[in-house]
Structure 1
Amino acid sequence: MTDYLFENPDIKAIRTVAADLNGQARGKRIARRFAAKALTEGTRFPYSVMNLDIWGEDIENSPLVFEAGDPDGILWPTERGFLPVPWLDTPTALLPIWMFHEDGRPYAGDPRQALARVIDRYTARGLTPVVATELEFYIIDDAGRELRVPPSPRSGKRRQQAEILALRQLDAWDNFLTALHDACEDMDIPADTTISEAGPGQFEINLMHQADALKAADDAWLFKLMTGGMARKHGFAASFMAKPYPDYAGNGLHAHFSILDSEGRNILDDGTPRGSDILRHAIAGCLKAMPGSMLMFAPHASSYDRLVPGAHAPTGIAWAYENRTTALRVPAGGGPARRIEHRVAGGDINPYLFLAAILGAALNGIEDGEAPPEPITGNAYNHDLAQLPTTWQAAIDAFEQSPEIARIFAPELIANLLATKRQELHYMSELSAQEQTDLYLDTV
């Protein structure tokens, strides 16, 4: 990793950075001359830093704080190594890190460690999940009291209408989108297709599938961090908030996954249009865990504004072949392309917890060998389906009570996340809708 600094002598500062339970970037700025310490001695944070609320405050009565003396964990660099920070003027290198105990054991309250724990379950069975993500976001002029689409750099006009797959929208924002893709290339984020979406100033960028779920989560997390930074560099905001505009489409974050065996064969495919029995077992596991996982898919107060019937966000627990109204979609195409698309989550999620919940649930289903209900046809909103939790409180309760969640996440992480969300729920009631929007616009 030191080669990066040798090859980039202009670097003046290092940012060591980890994701907390809300997906917030927590870290330190280190002068270049002391960068080697982060590699040889690690970086120290209090364990409690991984468990702050959305305002960045300690959790009241947390056993990690005063009761324990607020001790430090030690954070070591991830496999990623140093990365450029293209949104800052000062030449800076980013060093992603994750938390361990002093004796080398992974810290169970670290969301990246939670995903690694799920991947270890797959590895023990000789299996490898292959993951791709689709991320939706808005670019927003937030300088005034009302959120608005920024004026087009080409025309100077604010186009306040839906622009689904509109080339003129891509053309209007070509400089920003090009800078975004250049930054992805610099940071080794495999950004593929970009489209304009259903809201004014809304875009979706797809990150290519890869047989490394940890890197897929890293890519999604870094993409969110980078997009926000690049937008500010261009004079506006970018937000993955689930529903920044009441009257326009929300931001989703969809994941596609398949599963390879030790010989590299996709075990979700059996050469038929129906797919393998393992495909259906994985679907059964995802459906069964879906109510308890809702806190991963809709983690914030504003997340539930997106989850309304007829708004291209699923509200019922169902699956189907080639049907975008369901929570789980099996896209067309067999062989290596046979996969499951999970469509519930908003753009405001923590990618590590999100993928841990999805992949852990699928493996639960494979281990149990259960069959799912029959796939539905037609508009899922018109079916009489079991419903996903519709409120933040209901999602918190379902998460706490779910036996499926207990199989996926460590007890410490479950307890920490429950404490975080209950504190946020309590204090969020004191904020107006405008104050909530101001809070979430940049943080999630």
Structure 2
Amino acid sequence: MIEQRRPAVLPPELSDGSVTSVRVLYADLHGVARGKDVPIGEFERAVEHGLAFCSAIMGTDLRHTPVVGGEEGYPDLVAYPDLSTMTLVPWEPGVACCLADLRPVGDHAPPADPRGAVRRAVAAFEELGLSPVVGPELEFFLCERDPAGGVRRYVDNLSMVYTVGPQADPRGIVREIAEMLSGMGLGAFAANHEFMNSQYEINLHHADALAAADRAFRLKCAVKDVAAMRGLVATFMGKPFNDQGGSGFHIHFSLERGGENAFAGGEEGGVTGLLRHFVAGVLEHASGLMAFLNPTINAYRRLVPDSLAPTHANWGWDNRTAFVRIPPERGGATRVEVRVGDGSANPYLATAATLFAGLHGVRERLPLGPPVGGDAYALAGEKAGPPLPATLEEALDALEADEVLRGAMGEQIVGTFLALKRYEAERHRTWVSDWEISEYLHHL
């Protein structure tokens, strides 16, 4: 075997000769991992010069159509490895992995960079002396291919919620992934079967906003990769089955000032005015946020009454039927939970957009209305709060009309995202579905 030069840029714990390739990854606007595998002898060059990609990847839909990019002649973007994110990949011996920062080439416009949006949101809070802390919660389904080319659920028994061990995970795959993520330093601290058949959750510790979004992105990558290696299919799609509820992406937010929780304190409810302003900002921009938090046609099949997913823009004290829940913990654990997110959401876009919405509430000291009590689905009129968009198209219209979110997220992200998703929605509108064939073909 030819001896390869060990690059000086690797951290000491990865420089013992066992690493043969470095996987450099970034998220596209869908949240899908894109990147390159770099042989270890070439990695130092990649760090210095970056890795070139066609920037149209950010405007390409999931059916492989480049919707945005041709008008500029399909220029490059360059991905520069962020060495602070370097870690071994336990399920692929010899492979290390790091995330990348995206930059334009020459005079071209900056690329639509989801990770960069989180950085900008954090910087905006830091101007106010505040640091966002985020805790992501992601649910997913595990499936296996059936002989006909479809999928069936890995475990298909009712009432397995919070069950662990071989009954809930016969091959130990979810436990294995959680152990690997913990060993990688990505904050995984627990795993369990969730409420729906073959639905699981791996819990991640809270962290500063960028690290938390990175962890959520890498969790999704790990779950899908390890499942594929074990002959299964993992999906974060919001509602993959008609007879089951959906997978959510709940995100917890707090703000620190001087190392202390700035949401903790106050007489009413034990929370500060800062928390109330943050929540008011999130609710003010709820309709526009829906495009990033629920970015697919399918996502809106999940948002129905009695689903533990909200249908109106409201908030409540420890109320899981509300858009924003204030969990009961106080002191250092005081936080808000945004409960509307779909499992398919891009962790970076969802985190950045929600932070920018909360930032608007903080800057403008927006007042927070009264909470909802009890079953928010049973409320009507003003008591329920404004209804959320019921379709992706409505959410895209709301995002386009939201000048604050558009300005904060940047036209490169929002314009590309709107074009991409409107193209997706139009494809869906003209597609003849199995439901239509079953419903109409014989009778009409």
TM-score by length of 1: 0.89
Cα distance in 2 for partners of 1:126, 1:108 equals 28
In the alignment, what sits opposite 1:164?
Answer: 161
Deviation at 1:434, TM superposition (A): 6.7
Say if 2:201 is the partner of 1:198: no
**Aligned with 1:132 (options 127, 130, 135):** 135
Say if 2:122 is the partner of 1:82: no
**Aligned with 1:265 (options 260, 264, 282):** 260
- Return 38-47 or 125-134, whichever deviates more: 38-47
Deviation at 1:433, TM superposition (A): 5.0
In the alignment, what sits opposite 1:243?
Answer: 239
Residues 295-310 of structure 1 aligned to structure 2 (within 5 Å): 295-310=291-306
Say if 2:189 is the partner of 1:189: no
In the alignment, what sits opposite 2:352?
Answer: 356
Aligned amino acid, residue 78 of structure 1: D
Cα distance in 2 for partners of 1:108, 1:47 equals 7
Cα distance in 1 for partners of 2:249, 2:84 equals 23
Deviation at 1:190, TM superposition (A): 0.3
Say if 2:28 is the partner of 1:20: yes
Say if 2:15 is the partner of 1:7: yes
Tell me, what secondary structure is at the counterpart of 2:228?
helix
Cα distance in 1 for partners of 2:95, 2:433 equals 36
- Return 291-300 or 233-242, whichever deviates more: 233-242
Say if 2:112 is the partner of 1:109: yes
In the alignment, is the contact (CA less than 8 A) between 2:182 and 2:189 conserved in 1? no
User: How well do the aligned residues superpose, as a CA RMSD in angstroms?
Assistant: 2.3
In the alignment, what sits opposite 1:177?
Answer: 174
In the alignment, is the contact (CA less than 8 A) between 1:271 and 1:334 conserved in 2? no
**Aligned with 1:100 (options 97, 100, 103):** 103
Deviation at 1:185, TM superposition (A): 2.5
Aligned amino acid, residue 129 of structure 1: P
Say if 2:336 is the partner of 1:340: yes
In the alignment, is the contact (CA less than 8 A) between 1:84 and 1:186 conserved in 2? no
In the alignment, what sits opposite 1:277?
Answer: 273
Tell me, what secondary structure is at the counterpart of 1:390?
coil
Cα distance in 2 for partners of 1:169, 1:392 equals 38
Change beyond 3 A, Cα 1:85–1:372: same
Deviation at 1:408, TM superposition (A): 2.3
Cα distance in 2 for partners of 1:364, 1:227 equals 34
Tell me, what secondary structure is at the counterpart of 2:254?
strand
TM-score by length of 2: 0.89
Change beyond 3 A, Cα 1:84–1:429: farther
CA deviations over 1:165-213 (Å, ceiling 9, x no partner): 2245666447213321232034321012222211111111211011x21
CA deviations over 1:74-110 (Å, ceiling 9, x no partner): 221125443323344x632223112113479993511
- Return 125-134 or 48-57, whichever deviates more: 48-57
CA deviations over 1:18-58 (Å, ceiling 9, x no partner): 11111111112322221221111111112222222122321
- Return 168-177 or 123-132, whichever deviates more: 168-177
In the alignment, what sits opposite 1:153?
Answer: none
Say if 2:363 is the partner of 1:373: no
Aligned amino acid, residue 119 of structure 2: A
Change beyond 3 A, Cα 1:203–1:170: farther
Cα distance in 2 for partners of 1:405, 1:360 equals 7
In the alignment, what sits opposite 1:331?
Answer: 327
Deviation at 1:8, TM superposition (A): 4.5
- Return 69-78 or 96-105, whichever deviates more: 96-105
Tell me, what secondary structure is at the counterpart of 1:2?
coil
In the alignment, is the contact (CA less than 8 A) between 2:179 and 2:188 conserved in 1? no
Cα distance in 1 for partners of 2:168, 2:379 equals 40
Change beyond 3 A, Cα 1:56–1:19: farther
Deviation at 1:160, TM superposition (A): 2.9
Deviation at 1:217, TM superposition (A): 0.4
Cα distance in 1 for partners of 2:107, 2:128 equals 24
Deviation at 1:376, TM superposition (A): 1.0
Deviation at 1:431, TM superposition (A): 4.4
Tell me, what secondary structure is at the counterpart of 1:311?
coil
Cα distance in 2 for partners of 1:33, 1:47 equals 26
Aligned amino acid, residue 101 of structure 2: W
Residues 25-36 of structure 1 aligned to structure 2 (within 5 Å): 25-36=33-44
Cα distance in 2 for partners of 1:173, 1:289 equals 43
Cα distance in 1 for partners of 2:107, 2:116 equals 13
In the alignment, what sits opposite 2:416?
Answer: 416
CA deviations over 1:55-80 (Å, ceiling 9, x no partner): 23211xx3x32x32222122211254
Change beyond 3 A, Cα 1:170–1:97: farther
In the alignment, what sits opposite 1:149?
Answer: 153
Deviation at 1:116, TM superposition (A): 1.1
Q: Identity of aligned pairs, percent?
A: 30
- Return 426-435 or 377-386, whichever deviates more: 426-435
Change beyond 3 A, Cα 1:185–1:216: same
Change beyond 3 A, Cα 1:304–1:6: closer
Aligned amino acid, residue 152 of structure 2: R
